[in-house]
Structure 1
């Protein structure tokens, strides 16, 4: 199974920064985020997401009223880590799609193929006022636009063929112009001609994730490769809604480890063996096949946790139940980065490893390879366009 972690200031608890163990200044230097990501990586956590929003946090006594830009923070963490996936949240409602895809592609190059992004939208008047480009819109409209942004981003990542950079010193040609392509994309609210200004990312397409917090987001999640679902009594139904559409094409192209037991008729809650396969760059990587591999996007149950207070046994039981319901893993939102991440690293991950639910801590490779996602074929290769 896959394990993800969220970095949000000092933690999901608004009062986390006030703990004696926390240096509040480290929130704005990035030190807290770097330390949390490094601890998570050493323990075998597969990916971290970075929370963000266009609106400034509310100025409430006792709470941190500032936030670092998620994309910039992910770029700060990238050179300080080696294996863990990095997915900043990017709100696309008031952001130029061309700039969004270029930023995510750049992060993929900087991190050596470990990048992704959590696509999000904004319906608030406060965010619209911050940017000043347009009026706020309803959730259905903003998520419809977000799906267009996801689509054009993938096309722009393909606008450079993998071998477009030739570095021919004799002729003075750095790029083969025949291997750069226009996307000529027109959506109801924007248009993009292309090509991108950034060469094709190492992963081909950085991983696209969507956090489901509204019915409209659930509909848009069918276009994602990673879906973050809230824990609820309707979890199994929501997983089926995400995976059950015949329109779901992107997330369905999944690989499994050679030692896995995918599609073997085993029961939903049965243990899966850990196998070794090659990622999209040909590097060895250990993956843990699980129910749903090869059948849609990677679905992670997103839940706020405080294991330094509550312990891990209840969480372990919940994880087993979520896996039995069809989830591919968990996305943990620690109440305190300084207090909860060490417990997750030192107690929860070893316990899940004992149960055969997660793989070895040192496994690496690209993020797509780690998640069991194939590297996409470039849609323009050989097209002559």
Structure 2
């Protein structure tokens, strides 16, 4: 008898008009609450684990939408308009203050009753060409960026645990904090950081604590393409999403992350490895490829992506998901090429196909996002 596959986890990444730059602007106000509510409720209708909300600092929205909303504020607006699905906004780490992030995401966790997450994103100071990506001149500052990110996550987790003593926070990330202004009534002047040279955060005397989060720690998600972010995710995140283009590449990536997870002392913890996929779906064979050609034409050339582009019927894409699952992938963050069409195809066609194969839930089985993903409540 054939053993049924383990249940997959599915998330969806919402960005602009969709991930294909040839996608047309949706009807109505694409920046209004009705638009975002409809998308996330559709994802919830499909019993997806969570949605991520994009908020990169230097890239315009995909397709015709040139402006971006603040992802944390959109997430807060969606909190009371949804019931089960996780909501994971992006907060870029480049200029992040740990206290601000801790309070915002814990507040979202309260507003959603335990369905919040934080997509951490590290952005280089300038775009990096592929031919220079692995040079020492690029790898050294990138390594520092991810060290800083890991320190920031460590401090945020401590703030979620109620740590308020400034000395304890400094000890978690030596050199990252400047001391409080010794003359709070005077004008602010730059102060050299204590214990190091980075000095890229400023902490305050008696910082206002983040509210307690129903999940203990809200979910931490990151997207990773190469070894440095693989190690960061294995060390700091609950879900690491990667961008393989074959089952063999997926297996090698999972193995690398598991080794890094063990090296970070987290071998006994569950760290999900998802794969990002751009999806174009149609129930009729060949129709999805035809639609991709039309989107390419509207864009003015072939669309390429860091992630694999899955084009086909729900059955064909389900075959791919289950093949990569056998390579060690436990879930997927799907990027709909065009909204709302490809999102609806995921929820109304791909999900039923996976359910028929015993590979996806038929009802929400937990009240929190960590619960949906089989993660225990987390504290440091």
Matches within 5 A, 1:13-24: 13-18=20-25, 22-23=26-27
CA distance 1:26–1:311, shift in 2 (3 Å): farther
The whole-number CA distance in structure 1 between the counterparts of 2:104 and 2:147 is: 21
Check 1:229–1:64 CA distance in 2 against 1; reply closer, same or farther (3 A cut): same
* Aligned: 1:57 with 2:90: no
Q: CA RMSD in A?
A: 2.4
> For each residue in 1:142-199, what CA deviation from the matched residue of structure 2 results, as whole angstroms up to 9, or x when unmatched?
1111011111110000016xxxxxxxxxxxxxxxxxxx65543243333647655222
Are residue 335 (structure 1) and residue 337 (structure 2) matched? Answer: yes
Q: TM-score, normalised by structure 1?
A: 0.73
- Match for residue 10 of structure 2 among 3, 26, 45: 3
2: CA distance, partners of 1:30 / 1:251: 41
Q: How does 1:146-165 map to 2 (within 5 A)?
A: 146-159=149-162
- The Cα shift of 1:305 comes to 0.6
In structure 1, the residue matched to 2:117 is: 116
Are the counterparts in 2 of residues 43 and 345 from structure 1 also a CA contact under 8 Å? yes
Written as runs of structure 1 = structure 2, the 5 A alignment for 1:9-158 is 9-18=16-25, 22-23=26-27, 25-55=28-58, 57=60, 63-125=64-126, 138-158=141-161
User: How far did residue 231 of structure 1 move?
Assistant: 2.7
Deviation at residue 57 of structure 1 after TM alignment: 1.5
Describe the superposition over 1:253-291 as per-residue Cα deviations: whole angstroms up to 9, x where unpaired.
3xxxxxxxxxxxxxxxxxxxxxxxxxxxxxxxxxxxxxx
> Secondary structure in 2 aligned to 1:306?
strand
Query: 1:235: how far off?
Result: 1.0
- Are the equivalent residues in 2 in contact too, given 1:10–1:32 (CA < 8 A)? no
Residues 83 and 248 from structure 1, CA distance in 2 versus in 1: closer, same or farther, beyond 3 angstroms? farther
Q: Flag structure 2 segments of 5+ consecutive residues without an equivalent.
A: 1-7, 128-137, 178-200, 283-287, 289-311
| Counterpart selection for 1:297 from 255, 261, 271 | 271
Equivalent residue pairs, number: 302
- Out of 206, 212, 226, the residue aligned to residue 214 of structure 1 is 226
> Displaced runs of 4+ in structure 1, greater than 6 A?
none
Give the deviation of 1:350 after TM superposition: 0.8
Match of 1:237 in 2: 252
Distance 1:70 1:251 in 2: 32
In the TM superposition, 1:196-211 aligns within 5 A as: 196-211=208-223
Contact preservation (8 Å) 1:114, 1:367: yes
Please report how far the alpha carbon of residue 4 of structure 1 lies from its aligned counterpart in structure 2 after TM superposition: 0.6
The superposition leaves residues 185-223 of structure 1 with CA deviations (integer Å, 9 ceiling, x where unpaired) of: 243333647655222211110011110023321121112
Structure 1 segment 182-197 matched on structure 2, within 5 A: 183-185=168-170, 186-190=173-177, 192=203, 196-197=208-209
Shift of 1:352: 0.4
Distance 2:277 2:227 in 1: 18
Partner of 1:270: none
**Of 299-308 and 194-203, the range deviating more from structure 2:** 194-203
d(CA) in 1 for partners of 2:358 and 2:15?
A: 29
**With structure 2 as the length reference, what TM-score do the two structures score?**
0.74
Contact 2:13–2:335 (CA under 8 A) maintained in structure 1: yes
Report the CA distance shift for 1:195/1:250 in structure 2 as closer, same or farther (over 3 A).
Answer: farther
CA distance in 2, matches of 1:181, 1:232: 46
- Alignment CA distance shift 1:249-1:202 (3 Å): farther
SS state at 2:13 partner: strand
Distance change in 2, residues 1:74/1:335 (3 Å): same
1:313 positional shift: 2.1
